[in-house]
Each structure stands twice: as structure tokens, then as C-alpha cells.
């Protein structure tokens, strides 16, 4: 057991702890993983936790960890489900929630400087009081932090219009694994893009300067529906190409998801009968009228149904409650992938066919985040109260990921639990993976920052052993899994 040095105890006081009880709260994220599997593969409970208030304190912690060769895991909102902010080798967790607040706002340049532990809701509230707002944000708007979302990928609501978060960031303050505090820009070496989607493996972000925007003059929402998904995906591609400018956000729900929500009282009729595409527009009233005409043309051209405006508004307001289905099915397993928009319909068909074969209902939603890509989430019911069944069900997760990869996609976030898939070129081409490993070696030669993530799996999660384990789990599942009725929504 590592003991806290006296000087650090005096420096941080109650903002540091090596209490096993307090540290245990940092040993998981929002996902449930059977404890025996976690203990087999990782050491998730840190030896100590620090809660710094400034970059200088972060630097001091990392310098201490470097001298002791201790693993350091940055953590803020903890709203991921793949172990991105959970230790693999115990060590130190740096809780960044104390680095909160806006440091400066330049209205004329539409730029804001903010500390990384600030949530998106807090930043957007600050800006709206001044006539501005953020450009894009995650669906976990109220708990996800600025630094955390940037480190995890930064794609979500509004990405169709403004691109991923990294495109909106002008500069970062980062504490490197050496303990050096450095300001990086889009053109420096290392640059901003090195730290985006790096999941805290190259440095700890302690300050972010990003672009914002003035509040839109007007907004309008449409909800397109169809009993078959093909026309909706065609309409989504048309919108993404700019044929109905100015589209801010596109969100798709599968019919199976809408049916489950309606059956559980979480969505109104008649959503349960349809696949739906929510189209959100922003701009001037003239722009919105013109775009609305284009969308009506799509509805007619693709044989779609336009649902009532009140349903469209309700769907928009539910953008922060995309996982409310967990109120009905608390033991959900999930896969989050980036899938080419051209392959979304085939992905949906193959995944739902997999569900029918396995006796589970696959529930899918998607953000269209660019002209060519969708961020897709597929969920299905399991039973975390039965760890053996839960583990066997995980074999379906692997099959879903492989379906997405075969169609040109790949996992959105690597974390710990997706590292076995790194050998698939659809996630990182070997040349790209080699480039990432070189960056890691350059900045973190001791490998202390968030080890076990992004660059390669631990031995027990090697692709060969992982594949054998999942095939065995899938084989057992055929004999042991209780089938769940999938009728009632066809």
C-alpha cells in the first residue's frame, strides 16, 4: 500500500485521501461489469485520490507520480461506460472536478476560456446569460465536463453543423507527464489534436479555449416517421449534404426503441409504430421557412410521414434523456460506434436480425454527426443480477462491434474494454496506431498516464484470448440464455 507523503498531506489536506473506502468510489464508471471479471483484468481502486484546484497542483501530483512510477488516471464527470477514467493499475486518480469555472469571455471573438471540470450545462448557462451559447455538446450535457468530452471524442448534438469539439478548440493548457505545464495551439508541437480523443493518456487538460456562438435567432423542429428505415436514412443524408440548410442536428430512433419507450410510458403514441428522424433547424425565420419547404419535399419524395410539431418538440427536449430506457431495463448492455451513414440501414438490419436470432430486442438510436458518419448506440437487455448470464450476453456486444467494423465503422471510444478491437483496421489503421504509440513514447516514456487504454490491450485482453473467451461465452449463451419475446412491435 502506497503511503501519502507528509508534505502532500499538508499541502492538500482533505483534498487528498488514501482511505480505501473513499478510493473505492473511483473504481468504476456508469457501466456495470461483473466484479470477478474486473478483479481478474484490472486493479480499479486507486491507492490515493487527489482533488486539485489549479494546474500547478496537477503538476505537483504528476511529478510525484513520475518519481514513484505510479499510474495516474485523470477523472471528472465519470459518465463513460468503457473504463476510460477507471484505473487499470491502481495508483493515483486526479479528480478534476475542482477545476471549474469560466476564466474569460471575448464576445467580439466568440471565444471563451474555461476550466476543464466545468460541465457543459454550466458553461452554456454562463453564455446564455450573455446572449451566446455553445456550438455543440454531449447528450450527457448536465454531467459531462469540457475536458472530459474533448478527451473522449467530442461528437454529439450539433456536431453535424459545427464538427467535432476539437474543431472548435483554439488552445489548451495541458500538464504533460513530465509535470511541465504547457499551452498548446492548433499549430504547436504537440498540438491540440494530439489531446483530443486521447482519453487522458498524453496529458491532463487544465484549461480550454474554445469557440462559441451567438444565440440562434430562431429554431424549428420536425419529426419524420416511417415504418421502414430506408427513406429516413436517405432524408438524413440529404439533410447532411446541406439540401435543407441550416440543419443543426439529426437524431434517429429505431422502431424497436420507440416501441419500448411507448410501451413503458416514456414516449407518446404513435411513436411506437415508427422509425423516426428528428430534424432540428436554427437560423433566421426566412432560412427556416426555406429549409422547411425542402424537408416537406423530402417527406413527399421518400414516402415519409410528418408527425405533429408537439411530438417533434418533445423529441428535441428528450435529447438529454436518451438513456431513459434504463428506467425500464436497468441491466442494459450497449455498443457505441461510428458507422458510415451509407451503411446505417444495413447495420440496423443486420443488428436487428442478430437480436431476433438471439432472442433479444436491439434498441438503436443515432446522431448524424457529419455528411459521412453517424454516432450509433445499440442497447439490449441482460441481467446484471446474474453475472454468468451477463458475461455470456457480452458475446453479442462483440458481434455488434464486428458488424459495425465490417461495414466501415468502429468503436467511438476505446477505453479499456474496447482495446481488444484495436487490431481491426477500421478502428485504427496500423500506421495510425503506430503514430499514436510514437506520441505516447515521446510524451510519456514511463507510461504513467492512464495506462491500459488506447494503445494496446493488456495480455489477458489480447485479441486471441479475448476472441476465444467471447466465442466460448457465445456458445454457452445458446444453451443457457432465456429467450425474450421480440413480437408485439412488428
Mind listing the pLDDT tens digit for each residue in 447-464? 999 999 988 888 777 777
Give the whole-angstrom CA distance, residue 306 versus residue 294: 13
Helix (H, G, I), strand (E, B) or coil at 405: helix
pLDDT value of residue 481? 52
Please, which pLDDT band fits residue 483 given cuts at 50, 70 and 90?
very low
CATH architecture group of domain 6-97: 2-Layer Sandwich (3.30)
* CATH class held by domain 99-214: alpha beta
pLDDT given for residue 478 in this prediction:
67
CA separation for the pair 47, 65 (Å, rounded): 12
pTM above 0.75, yes or no: yes
Going from N- to C-terminal start, the domains of the chain cover: 6-97, 99-214, 218-324, 330-365+382-480
Neighbouring CB atoms inside 10 A of 301's CB total 12
pLDDT digits (tens, 9 = 90+) for 73-130: 999 998 888 889 999 999 999 999 999 999 999 999 999 999 999 999 999 999 999 9
Q: Which residue in this structure is represented by grid cell 495516474? A: 72
**Burial letters 417-452, b for 16+ CB under 10 A, else e:** bbbbbbbbebbbeeeebeebeebbeebbeebbbbbb
* Residues 2-60: tens digit of each pLDDT: 777 777 888 899 999 999 999 999 999 988 888 888 888 899 999 999 999 999 999 99
pLDDT of residue 426: 62
135 close to 212: Cβ distance less than 8 angstroms: yes
Segment 359-365 shows an average pLDDT of 93
**Which of the listed CATH numbers 3.30.70.3450, 3.40.50.1380, 2.40.40.20, 3.30.365.10 matches domain 218-324?**
3.30.70.3450
Say if 6-97 and 218-324 have the same CATH topology.
no
- Confidence at residue 35, expressed as pLDDT on a 0 to 100 scale: 83
Amino acid at each position: 500500500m502506497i503511503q501519502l507523503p507528509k508534505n502532500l498531506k499538508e499541502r492538500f489536506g482533505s483534498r487528498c485521501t488514501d482511505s480505501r473506502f473513499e478510493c473505492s468510489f473511483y473504481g468504476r464508471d456508469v457501466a456495470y461489469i461483473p466484479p470477478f471479471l474486473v478483479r481478474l483484468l484490472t486493479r480499479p481502486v486507486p491507492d490515493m485520490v487527489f482533488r486539485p484546484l489549479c494546474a500547478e497542483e496537477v503538476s505537483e501530483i504528476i511529478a510525484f507520480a513520475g518519481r514513484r512510477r505510479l499510474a495516474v488516471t485523470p477523472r471528472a464527470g465519470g459518465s463513460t461506460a468503457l473504463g476510460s477514467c477507471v484505473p487499470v493499475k491502481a495508483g493515483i486518480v486526479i479528480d478534476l472536478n475542482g477545476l471549474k469555472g469560466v476564466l474569460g469571455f471575448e464576445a467580439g471573438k466568440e471565444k471563451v476560456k474555461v476550466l476543464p471540470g466545468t460541465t457543459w450545462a454550466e458553461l452554456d448557462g454562463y453564455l446564455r446569460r450573455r446572449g451566446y451559447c455553445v456550438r455543440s455538446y454531449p447528450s450527457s450535457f448536465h454531467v459531462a465536463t469540457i475536458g472530459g468530452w474533448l478527451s473522449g471524442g467530442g461528437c454529439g448534438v450539433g456536431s453535424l453543423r459545427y464538427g467535432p469539439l476539437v474543431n472548435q478548440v483554439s488552445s489548451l493548457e495541458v500538464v504533460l507527464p513530465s509535470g511541465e505545464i504547457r499551452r498548446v495551439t492548433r499549430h504547436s508541437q504537440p498540438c491540440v489534436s494530439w489531446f483530443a480523443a486521447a482519453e487522458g493518456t498524453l496529458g491532463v487538460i487544465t484549461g480550454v479555449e474554445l469557440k462559441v456562438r451567438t444565440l440562434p435567432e430562431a429554431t424549428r423542429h420536425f419529426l419524420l416517421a416511417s415504418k421502414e428505415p430506408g427513406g429516413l436514412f436517405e432524408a438524413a443524408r440529404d439533410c447532411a449534404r446541406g439540401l435543407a440548410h441550416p440543419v443543426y442536428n439529426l437524431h434517429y430512433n429505431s422502431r424497436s426503441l420507440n416501441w419500448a419507450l411507448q410501451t413503458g410510458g416514456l414516449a407518446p403514441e404513435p411513436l411506437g409504430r415508427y422509425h423516426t428522424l428528428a430534424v432540428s433547424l436554427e437560423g433566421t425565420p426566412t432560412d427556416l421557412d426555406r429549409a422547411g419547404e425542402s424537408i416537406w419535399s423530402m417527406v413527399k419524395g421518400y414516402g415519409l410521414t410528418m408527425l405533429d410539431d408537439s411530438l417533434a418538440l418533445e423529441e428535441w427536449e428528450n435529447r438529454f434523456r436518451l438513456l431513459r430506457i434504463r428506467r425500464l431495463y436497468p441491466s442494459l448492455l450497449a455498443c457505441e460506434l461510428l458507422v458510415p451513414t451509407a451503411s446505417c440501414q444495413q447495420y440496423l438490419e443486420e443488428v436487428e436480425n442478430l437480436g431476433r436470432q438471439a432472442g433479444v430486442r436491439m434498441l438503436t438510436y443515432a446522431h448524424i454527426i457529419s455528411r459521412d458518419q453517424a454516432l450509433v448506440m445499440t442497447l439490449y437487455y441482460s441481467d446484471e443480477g446474474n453475472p454468468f448470464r451477463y458475461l455470456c450476453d457480452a458475446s453479442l456486444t462483440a458481434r455488434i462491434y464486428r458488424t459495425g467494423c465490417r461495414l466501415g465503422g468502429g468503436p467511438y471510444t476505446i477505453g479499456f474494454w474496447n482495446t481488444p478491437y484495436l487490431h481491426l483496421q477500421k478502428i485504427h489503421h496500423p500506421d495510425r496506431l503506430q503514430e499514436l504509440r510514437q506520441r505516447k513514447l515521446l510524451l510519456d516514456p514511463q507510461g504513467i498516464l492512464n495506462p491500459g487504454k488506447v494503445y494496446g490491450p493488456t495480455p489477458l485482453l489480447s485479441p486471441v484470448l479475448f476472441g476465444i473467451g467471447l466465442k466460448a461465452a457465445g456458445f454457452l449463451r445458446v444453451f443457457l440464455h432465456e429467450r425474450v419475446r421480440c413480437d408485439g412491435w412488428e
